[in-house]
Amino acid sequence: MIVQTASGKVSGVPLQGAYVFRGIPYAAPPTGKRRFQPPAPPQPWPGVRKCDHFGPLAPQQTDPSVGAARIQSEDCLYLNVWTRGCEKESMPVLVYIHGGGFVSGTGADCDGLRHAAEDGIVYVSVNYRLGALGFLYLGEVLGEEYAASGNNGLLDIAAALQWVQRNISAFGGDPARVTVIGNSAGAKCTASLYATEAARGLFHRAVAQSGATQAIRDRRTANVTTLRILEELGLSGADPSQLLELPFEQLIAAQSAVGSDTSRSLHMFGPVADGRVIPLDPLAGIAASSGLPPLLIGTNENEASIFIRDDSMLHSPGMEPLDRFFGSHAPAVWDAYQHYAEGMSPADAWCTTLTEHLYTIGAVQFAQALASSGTPVWMYRLRAGGALGATHGYEGSLIHWDPEAQPPAALAAGDPYAVPAEQYPLARSMREACVTFIRSGDPNVDALPAWPVYGTKPAIMVLDTASRVADDLPEPAGIGVPHQVWRVDR
């Protein structure tokens, strides 16, 4: 299949029931003088570009013990398209934003074949700049020309959405039915698009799974990270413009050294409320807006369980990890832990506290701001789970559940993302609701109870083996903690 895009022709690879176009450039390479600059339009090419392999990874720290190393390059602004081809009626479009804590991941992490072949959805996955190259705020050290540098990764996503608007109809997609979806940091990017003027009108609905606007930080906090990296690079007091010429490997090594503390790396980067790309008060700006896209958003009951298992610093409740996560807000979070410990085991209280202050509170604040603008919002709470409960990322296991793809020994081995048989009906229902939302902007399906819009009175779909709508879920302890813009405050 050969498709004409605005920059040139591309050829795809035939699959079982669909085609895939891997590694289509959606912006010019952000290299040389374009480093730390907003994305520029893609450069045209002659002839037919063969799109049979994924583009390079955005520079990031990788685990050398996990398979062969993929090529990394600052020339990383590529996207991938799965489609059944042009049909009589245009198909809805789903744009997937990968997670990875703003420091890792790639659009190649997913596979859009099932959505394309089975659901008739044109599926797009996107690379965007990560870490220092995508979210390092340089307005304080390099001046006005770099004032938007803390949001380059987000502007990359907006540029990809612009590409979709210009080109997706040639792949059979409907540019008036574009849904953005993300999990974890991908969900935080998705939510941040609501506060980004550059993304206005480029998507028509969104799904945010375990992430909201809580990763947005103010300029002061962002500058703290910048100064730490400059110090690691030996540029403190020197000319910081050397950042423009250093090999990217040195930048990644410096950010990895600064972020070697797990808690710090989880919150090291994210979008910046710079007053340009994102307003200084993002939630107030969202609440005051009109005509924003409908949103499907939710969190999981045991988000933090996977982090507690894998990080020795989090094994036991204590003020030290809370201080590293939450800065001056740590005492309020500790108070929430003590409140929960009165009615449950210390381990359960610790997991609940971290889950709510890392995920639930941010999702509730974002949903409330968006609902107050008059935008339809549907909210869920996933309660069904695996070996670690409904841990971070478990909703993806259910939505993408495929009994033929799940290794038979996964459950016996304690894989926290293996789906037990009693959850198969829920998995089918969640996938159906997600696809229905992508098609129509409303997740209601017969397989689930009637799902009301989230408004002034909370109405949340509790997804479980027996799902129900709850308007009596307890308000998270510490809901007043100001997580809408992340601050260091220390």
Q: Which of 184, 192, 210, 265 is catalytic?
A: 184
Q: Which of 232, 303, 356, 395 is catalytic?
A: 303
Please, what is the Cα angle at 182 between 227 and 168, to 5 degrees?
110
Q: Which of 392, 395, 397, 483 is catalytic?
A: 392
Which one, of 223, 222, 307, lies nearest residue 271 by Cα? 222
Dist. CA 254–CA 229, nearest whole Å: 6
SS3 content of the chain, % helix, strand, coil (to 5): 40, 15, 45
Question: Which residue in this structure is represented by tokens 């906090």?
Answer: 221
Question: Which residue in this structure is represented by tokens 């998995």?
Answer: 427
Crossing angle of the two packed helices 219-232 and 248-258, in degrees rounded to 10? 110
Sheet arrangement for strand 295-300: 13-14, 19-25, 78-83, 122-126, 91-97, 173-183, 205-209, 295-300, 377-382, 460-463, 468-470
Dist. CA 284–CA 274, nearest whole Å: 14
Q: How far apart are the first and last CA of the chain?
A: 56
Active site residue 236: no
Active site residue 392: yes
Which one, of 462, 454, 458, 456, lies nearest residue 471 by Cα? 458
Q: Which residues are catalytic?
A: 184, 303, 392
